[in-house]
Amino acid sequence: MTEKTASDLRILKIATCPSLSGRTAITYHVGCSDASDVRVRIWKTSGKGVYSKEWVSTTDIKKLLGKHEAIPGPLLLPLFKVGKSVNSAGFLLAVLKAEGLVSASPDQAHCYLRAPDKIFMEQVAALIASGVNLNPDVSKPSIRANQKKVGGVVGVPPWETEPHGDQVE
């Protein structure tokens, strides 16, 4: 597979979530180069820790999570090519938690369990279909006339691009 550069990727979503400790806010992006190549990256944090800003494939995340029952943060380190810090894996785990892709294990401290990705992938598919392409360098995404901000996400919601059954033409 050819390595995608940052300029090849559309940013579909810019969101913020707490770190696993709750002491840091993490801003992250969900992006894609095409419908099947969805990626996630940590963009910035409110803390001073070092982390990688590289894009991580959701396909690779899914493969890794599928091999393990319990998921501690360090398990995600192999997903990063640049070995900047163990913070990267913990921050990615916080993003996965915020997106509903993992949940805290009731039996093991500091471990998480895989959750179904159906809702996340449906949301991503709607953002891809909307044509949204956000600018990461804008501190707060601007909302155009045909966009809405829902749950911290800016994008054209699918209900504005799809015909409603109760509309009269």
Per-residue confidence of the chain (169 residues) as pLDDT tens digits? 334 455 679 999 999 999 999 999 999 999 998 767 999 999 999 998 889 999 999 999 999 999 998 999 889 999 998 666 778 999 999 999 999 999 999 999 899 999 999 999 999 999 999 999 999 887 554 444 444 444 455 554 443 444 444 334 3
Tokens read off for 32: 């894609």
Which strand (E) or helix (H) includes residue 25? Answer: strand 25-32
| Helix, strand, or coil (residue 109) | coil
Give CA–CA dist 92/98, Å, rounded: 10
Q: Mark out the alpha helices in the chain (DSSP H runs).
A: 58-66, 87-98, 118-130, 158-161
Q: What is the pTM of this model?
A: 0.77
The dihedral through the CA atoms of 152, 110, 89, 40 has a sign that is negative
